[in-house]
Amino acid sequence: MSTTPAQRTLEFLRAKGYVCDKAEYWQPSWVARKLQDAAIAYANSPTPHTQASLEGAVRMFGRARPGVRKDLFEFIDIVAMTENGITAIQSTSDSNLQARVKKILSLTAALKWVQCNGIIQVWGWKKNKANRWEPRVVGVEKWRFLDEKAHANDPPKRYTPSKDPF
């Protein structure tokens, strides 16, 4: 099984000695909850159960995804504590990095985060020429919220392995 961008980011930060953890959570879908409720009610009923009747219950509710992964405040995958303060990190692939920055700039919660002196970074992961995963770190500074359209396409700051992203 391949590692996710969030797992790569956590490994990278922990190797550097930072205190960090996931801030995203799993939210079961209403269909999954209905299936769970129906299965519990069915299992507790006095009627004898058969495999066919259980499969019929599943067909009745459909085979939906069991839920969705939700980011804290719609943009935070990881929270890291550093000497500079508390950092909210969105992890993604390098190809989706700019889309995540634009989304963050559109969120009121992200603006509140930076107004409270929180730091926001977007980490985009891609393989380098040596076939090793390497992050590109883009900081989402407070001034970018002032005029989102004017700064949304600004070139991102490049992360260099010799320089700490914090």
Same domain, 19 and 41: no
Same domain, 36 and 84: no
What does the pLDDT look like over 69-94, one tens digit per residue?
A: 788 999 999 999 988 889 999 999 99
Residue 16, domain member (yes or no) = yes
Same domain, 145 and 63: no
Q: Which domain holds residue 99?
A: 5-24+71-151
The predicted structure's pLDDT at residue 26: 77
The predicted structure's pLDDT at residue 28: 73
CATH of the domain at 108: 3.40.1350
Residue 123, domain member (yes or no) = yes
Q: Which residues contact 68 (CB under 8 A, 6 or more apart)?
A: 26, 27, 29
The predicted structure's pLDDT at residue 121: 95
Distance from the Cα of residue 79 to its chain's centroid: 11
Do 72 and 19 contact (CB within 8 A), yes or no?
Answer: no
Segments in the chain below pLDDT 50:
158-162
Residue 160, domain member (yes or no) = no
Residue 144, domain member (yes or no) = yes
Residue 36, domain member (yes or no) = yes
Same domain, 103 and 136: yes
Same domain, 50 and 19: no
Same domain, 134 and 64: no
